Structure 1
Amino acid sequence: MKAALFKGKDHPLTIEEVKKPKPIKDQVLIKMKYAALNHRDLWVMQEQAQHLPNGIILGSDGSGVVDDVGEDADPLLVGAEVVINPSLDWGNNPIVQGDAFRILGFPDNGTFAEYMVISKKYIFEKPEHLSFEESAAVPLSALTAYRALFSKARLRAKEKVLITGIGGGAALWVLQFAVAYQARVFVTSGSDEKLKKAKELGAIGGFNYKDPEWAAKAQKETGGFDIIIDSAGGDQFSKLIELALPGGRIVNFGRTAGNITDISTRLLYWKQLSIHGSTMGTRDEFLSMIDFLESRKLKPVMDKTYALKDITQAFQRMEQGEHFGKIVLDIGK
């Protein structure tokens, strides 16, 4: 079978023929239809220093059809159209993942291949209203968004929400979930075009963070925010402390702008703010997320689809920040 292999940060991804896996015990073999890119894949390629001569198949998101099952899996699963939960071995504590927790795609082989094996407990029926292509764009980013917005920030209807860095998959899911929950949503971006697109998806307003005065303008226009969902970190985070209303909740699940630098400690305690870190989510949250988007017939925002053989160009688009929505791979091409 064909697979995209990562062999180390100084080696480009290569499409190679590798042995087709066989399911054992409770595993299922999935014939992959589509897979989706995440910033996590980029970070793995940029930061993993170890040399992997045999290569690892990256990819956390995917959809496909069950092709075969192991001895402890129900044969009736064969033919099932599924999406994959990439949150592996979370553990028993819903508050935080356990020591065995991993995200599909590294160190475990992931979805950028024609076939993959995974335990049956991580497959879920593909939502009926979504195509295979759309379904592949759901798991990691929508799960991350759901936990951040509902489990951590505990969104209530009519609250004011600010989402930083609109354009990536998780931020767009936060936008769609919050709008569906009747929140009043605002966004930031370094692109006026992306701000315009976010408004078309239901955002009330947007602010270009390349404008030195964006935070002051946001404060004047909105009065502040009950919830701020951030995927950037970096030196702009201090402005989020200023923009949060008393009793506000700030949730961070990313570091595209680097580490957080200075924040105002006085504002933190005087406003009685809550700052939450969030990563992925539990099985129950995955089920709740799927139910939420099915009940409201939500669909992912799609950017562009590439053939598996063009995976390098797909990652170049993500790295350059050109995308708005999910970048997807057609595994059959």
Structure 2
Amino acid sequence: MKAFVMESGEWKIKDIEEPKVKSGEVLVSLKAAGINRRDLGLIKRYGKNPEALIVGSDGAGVVEAVGEDVVDFAYGDEVIINPALRWYKNSEAPPAEFDILGMPDHGTFAEKIAISVEQLEKKPAHMSWEEAGSLALPALTGYRALFTKGRLKKGETLFIPGAGSGVATFLIQFAKNCGARVIVTSRSEEKREYAKKIGADVAIPTDSDWVKELEGETIDLVIDSVGEATFNRSLDVLKKGGRIVIFGATTDDIVDFNLRKFFYGQYQLFGSTMGSREELRNMLKHMEAHNVRPIVDKTFSLDRAQDAFDHLASGNQFGKVVLRIN
């Protein structure tokens, strides 16, 4: 089968052996797979390893074969992949055995994947393949950050630095569904307008004076994935006693901030990553009830996976970049 792999420090399209299902596994013929920022950085972590590894965390497709002891899924079922491996019940932090699909396990940027039946969910009927294939990782990440960790409530105001990421597009929609006010930033006027079209109440330039722009606003919750470039600016606009959730660091992992200012303001800081299967299933119910659909920016064929990676790396996308496979 055809796959997009890391091998000897390079990305490449390669023909590799089709996986075979073991007991408790299902073989899925993949229709679409979403690219995440996590995927862009994996080659640095994988290094010069000569063994080809299929990357990719998100995907959707059709069950082609089932192994022994599989009872909940059958040939022909339309499914999505849950990339949060071996995390089933909601908990304060993931269990020790938790991992994210796509390294060290083979991922979804291939024509087929063999995976534990525990990692499958029914494809949402109201979504296209491209939408369903780009759903799980960013939507689950946003759902946990917003509701489990951030505890967002009706009438509160959410602030999101950066409006164009896949997670941000879900955050905007989820927050509006629960009756919150949403404020975002972006350097791009086009992205600011798009964010308002999908529900943001206010969209301000990233390089503006946030304190001045948001005068009169009460920010209850900040969800930030940028890191050093925005962390202290976010604290400056967060209300005293407010909550800030961090689920990523696209600029720098290390942040300096004033501890005295932090504890006098009695701010609450939470880390978050991905989520449990329990949260994923609750998220899917939420999406069905509110008819939420992923925002797909652009699609590429599997043969053009490198072009898709380059497009995501450019930062010009609004929403998800997706690979069409079978």
TM-score (norm 1): 0.94
In structure 2, the residue matched to 1:20 is 18
Q: Is the 8 A contact 1:66 1:80 kept in 2?
A: yes
**What is the CA deviation profile of residues 246-302 of structure 1, one whole-angstrom value per residue up to 9, with x for unaligned ones?**
221100111112124222323321221111110000110011111110111100111
**Deviation at residue 14 of structure 1 after TM alignment:** 1.1
Structure number with higher relative contact order (C-alpha < 8 Å, ≥ 6 residues apart): 2
In structure 1, the residue matched to 2:323 is 329
1:300 to 294, 301, 321: 294
Where 1:178 maps in the other structure, the secondary structure is: helix
Where 1:48 maps in the other structure, the secondary structure is: helix
Letter in 1 for 2:211: A
**What is the CA deviation profile of residues 189-224 of structure 1, one whole-angstrom value per residue up to 9, with x for unaligned ones?**
12121111101111111121223x2x22233152x3
**Deviation at residue 52 of structure 1 after TM alignment:** 2.4
Matches of 1:76 and 1:270, distance apart in 2:
54
**What is the CA deviation profile of residues 172-199 of structure 1, one whole-angstrom value per residue up to 9, with x for unaligned ones?**
1111100111100000112121111101
Matches of 1:76 and 1:240, distance apart in 2:
45
Matches of 2:108 and 2:222, distance apart in 1:
32
Q: Is the 8 A contact 2:149 2:272 kept in 1?
A: yes
Q: Does 1:226 align with 2:220?
A: yes
In structure 1, the residue matched to 2:161 is 164
**Deviation at residue 91 of structure 1 after TM alignment:** 6.6
In structure 2, the residue matched to 1:84 is 81
Alignment of 1:65-80 (within 5 A): 65-74=62-71, 77-80=74-77
**Deviation at residue 25 of structure 1 after TM alignment:** 0.6
> Structure 1 residues 238, 75: CA separation in 2 closer, same or farther (over 3 Å shift)?
closer
Between 189-198 and 302-311, report the one with greater CA deviation.
Answer: 189-198
2:51 to 21, 46, 54: 54
Alignment of 1:31-46 (within 5 A): 31-45=29-43
Matches of 2:73 and 2:195, distance apart in 1:
42
Matches of 1:199 and 1:91, distance apart in 2:
35
1:191 to 182, 188, 194: 188
In structure 1, the residue matched to 2:280 is 286
Gap runs ≥5 in structure 2: none
Q: Is the 8 A contact 2:90 2:277 kept in 1?
A: no
Matches of 1:39 and 1:62, distance apart in 2:
15
Percent of residue pairs bearing the same amino acid type: 40
Q: Is the 8 A contact 1:235 1:260 kept in 2?
A: no
Letter in 2 for 1:254: G
Where 1:234 maps in the other structure, the secondary structure is: coil
Alignment of 1:242-281 (within 5 A): 242-281=236-275
1:117 to 114, 135, 144: 114
Matches of 1:16 and 1:255, distance apart in 2:
31
Matches of 1:122 and 1:231, distance apart in 2:
26
Matches of 1:218 and 1:264, distance apart in 2:
23
Letter in 2 for 1:18: I
**What is the CA deviation profile of residues 37-86 of structure 1, one whole-angstrom value per residue up to 9, with x for unaligned ones?**
000000112x2153222211000000000000111213851111000100
Matches of 2:79 and 2:86, distance apart in 1:
19
Letter in 2 for 1:37: I
Q: Is the 8 A contact 1:247 1:271 kept in 2?
A: yes
Q: Is the 8 A contact 2:59 2:108 kept in 1?
A: yes
Q: Is the 8 A contact 2:19 2:114 kept in 1?
A: yes
Matches of 1:283 and 1:152, distance apart in 2:
16
In structure 2, the residue matched to 1:173 is 170
TM-score (norm 2): 0.96
In structure 1, the residue matched to 2:211 is 216
> Structure 1 residues 141, 304: CA separation in 2 closer, same or farther (over 3 Å shift)?
same
Gap runs ≥5 in structure 1: none
Q: Is the 8 A contact 1:82 1:125 kept in 2?
A: yes
Q: Is the 8 A contact 1:235 1:262 kept in 2?
A: no
Q: Is the 8 A contact 1:89 1:102 kept in 2?
A: yes
Between 139-148 and 188-197, report the one with greater CA deviation.
Answer: 188-197
> Structure 1 residues 5, 92: CA separation in 2 closer, same or farther (over 3 Å shift)?
same
Q: Is the 8 A contact 2:211 2:236 kept in 1?
A: no
> Structure 1 residues 99, 234: CA separation in 2 closer, same or farther (over 3 Å shift)?
same
Q: Is the 8 A contact 1:168 1:323 kept in 2?
A: yes
> Structure 1 residues 118, 318: CA separation in 2 closer, same or farther (over 3 Å shift)?
same
Q: Is the 8 A contact 1:251 1:277 kept in 2?
A: yes
Matches of 2:68 and 2:88, distance apart in 1:
25
Matches of 1:179 and 1:82, distance apart in 2:
27
Letter in 2 for 1:4: F
Q: Is the 8 A contact 1:241 1:264 kept in 2?
A: no
